[in-house]
Chain A
Amino acid sequence: GAVVSQHPSRVICKSGTSVKIECRSLDFQATTMFWYRQFPKQSLMLMATSNEGSKATYEQGVEKDKFLINHASLTLSTLTVTSAHPEDSSFYICSARQGDIQYFGAGTRLSVL
């Protein structure tokens, strides 16, 4: 299957700092990427759909000014968690769409102290 790389895999930061997560499709071009969040023992929750060359589409309840998404090329989308707080600690996973299938990055575990 297609390969999606997500970096970093683990971040520990202080409250109030911003954290940037990168998601790359390595062997295909993805006009659409997705950002999910997953809390322990919970299901995946879609945060936003990232569209190359246009604004991201955010799900209800997700603050677009807090979770900044940039999809500047067909192989790269970034998620920046601005002014992170302890309640933002979670597992963030990106995926890239190829046809009807989504291929996932390995996820970023964010811990905000």
Chain B
Amino acid sequence: AQTVTQSQPEMSVQEAETVTLSCTYDTSESDYYLFWYKQPPSRQMILVIRQEAYKQQNATENRFSVNFQKAAKSFSLKISDSQLGDAAMYFCAYRSAFRGSTLGRLYFGRGTQLTVWP
């Protein structure tokens, strides 16, 4: 089974600064999707960004960007110009692109709690 590892249980950043959250994954598949979800104190799971493994270009969504290193199986999230509202638990997730018994399911890491200081 695929595993997703987030080695940083907690991170903190000063407002307006940049922070990078790490994620590694283990898979034997060549085609897949990777996601970062944000879970604020409200507990709602909110999609932050998505990356297709077949795309070499790193995904970007406003202040959020990823560094996708397929060979290293690494998928980090960079948050630029951090804001107080970015404070949340961030989850990295993997999804296979192939049909099969695990069709559609997401595999999640354990999360990184991000604190933003004013």
Asked if A and B bind, the verdict is no
